[in-house]
Amino acid sequence: MASETPFYQKVILWSALAVTLVAALLVEDESEELWEEEVVQPARVSGGQRQHSKHEQAGELLPIDQLGKRQFSATAHDIFAVTSWEPEQIVAIDADTHEQDFQAIEQEEIAWQPLLPAAPPLQFEYLGKVISQGRVRVFLAQGDENYAVGVGERIRTEYRVERILNNAVELTYLPLGVRQILTIE
């Protein structure tokens, strides 16, 4: 029971298709004509001769003296300089050093000592402690995360619990091997 399309609708659809095809053909022909007009033929060079510019053909010289000399920026003296991501180094100077000694230091080559990396400050908050079967565990919080750890256990991959005392928890910051103490009450 499919309803058939009336004859006049078929005629309208077929005539719309015919008009669309004719329009597409006309547009295609016009675009081909536009492209044909824009084609430029390259000039041929025969026998290895180079083409002369219009200045050379007319016998004119290029005004090189009007160009001026190049000026370089002082900050661009070495564009391939090696840079380091290490922190700046500081020099320790004795508090008893006099003005003459400062001048001597400026004239001599200063031996720089690199800054040693330091562990970040502990961000843990002590929540409590429990002793069960002779084993001590502490409850620590860092932000939204809570940890229940004992001696020798790790907190993520950054810290390890070394000792749990009555008033402190000793942690090791594993990336640097630095021990830190969290005081507890």
pLDDT for 118-167, tens place per residue?
Answer: 889 999 999 999 999 989 999 999 999 999 999 999 999 999 999 999 89
Regarding pTM above 0.95, the answer is: no
Span 125-183: which CATH code? 2.30.30
All residues at 6 or more sequence positions from 22 whose CB lies less than 8 Å from its CB, including other chains: none
Furthest CA-CA distance within the chain: 112
User: Which tokens go with 157?
Assistant: 């991959």
Has residue 33 got a pLDDT over 80? no
CATH code 2.30.30 region(s) in the chain = 125-183
